[in-house]
Amino acid sequence: MDRTRPILPFLSEPGAGSQIERIGPTCLDVRARTENLWTGLGGGGWGWIWMTLCFVALWQILAFTLGGEPVALEGRWANQIEMALLAAFFALPLLIPVWVWRKHLPVRFNRRTREVSMELRGKVYTVPWDELAGRRRDLTGFTFPGVVLHDKLLQIEFPDGKGGTLTMLINGQDHSRGAQIPNSPEALWSYISVYMEQGPEALPLLVPRGEDYVKPSELFFVTNPFPILTARNPLWWPLQLFVGFPLLCLFIVTFVPTSLVHYWLYTSIPRQPLPEAMFDPENDDPSVLTGNSRPPGRTSLDQHQLLRGGVNRKGILFYRNRAEVEAALDRHLAGRAQVGRPGR
């Protein structure tokens, strides 16, 4: 079932999450549906890396169990070659997120020029903001394995220059159901409308979730399993100690290598330069025209600092590059040190 209906702005409380790539002084960059699906910690790219590594580890465990010795020992190269070929075949879908990270640019809402732009196959399509209509699109159905599909999407359309239109879809429902924040295509369209009409300072707080990656220096902070006995009722402590703790350790064993590979891939693959037609000198660093146009990204520590008020209340999305992010965090830590001195 596919239903589409118009959205009236400002009738819903604004809210957004990981769809927002960057909040600039004059431009709001929003990830389209495909990029939002494959990007971020726990996204499609991260998940496929996790499955590939788990497959390789499981293959080695089975070989050790059935053969009585590790596959890598005693020159059993045939098994190793077979394992490598199967792992490579299983990892082929990783070309999808790599291509997405390299080629996909966000939809840009420019409040200075009051235009909305997107890039597709090397061509930039632009529509005036005052002529753009937001539509809610509900897709309901079943996938091949029997999983129920129920997507709530924000749909916007661009003229293709040939009398027709190009449709761009953006994830409208981005958060878990238990999150106490606005979460719908209407909320996202209201969020975009607030930015375009009132500016970035009028935006509500971003949802504290949606890390793009985990830096190697943050792995201990993210995976620290202690304390173990956190339940208020002591009756739950045996369950936490003998069930929860071993499962958490198993998760850490798979999480750490997956996050390291994901971090290396995501930060090593540059995104294509920003087209000159989408460039705004008041919003962008000139380097995005010739080099990597991807913004710094949100790390787990950034999210933690955001929750504790350590950076700008919109998070690090206001900063153009990683150096500006680190400088902001250093200023915050220096300010806290000054406040903590005796006599202050």
- The pLDDT value given to residue 328: 64
Instruction: Give tens-digit pLDDT for 126-142.
Output: 999 999 989 998 877 76
**pLDDT, position 256:** 92
**How would you classify the pairing of strands 135-142 and 123-128?**
unpaired
Query: Distance between CA 335 and CA 213 in Å, rounded?
Result: 27
Long-range contacts of 243-252 (CB under 8 A, 24+ apart): 249/225, 252/223, 252/225
Q: Determine how many CB atoms are found less than 10 A away from the CB of residue 101.
A: 20
Is residue 316 pLDDT above 50, yes or no? no
Place of tokens 């640019």: 105
Residue 19 has a pLDDT of 86
- 189-216 tens-digit pLDDT: 999 999 999 988 888 765 545 678 888 8
Distance CA(255)–CA(249), nearest Å, equals 10
% of the chain exceeding 70 in pLDDT = 74
**CA geometry: angle 22, 260, 45, nearest 5 deg:** 60
DSSP letters spanning 222-247 = HH--------SSGGGHHHIIIIIHHH
| pLDDT for 295 beyond 90 | no
**Cα–Cα distance, 155 to 162 (Å, whole number):** 20
Query: Other C-beta atoms within 10 Å of 266: how many?
Result: 21
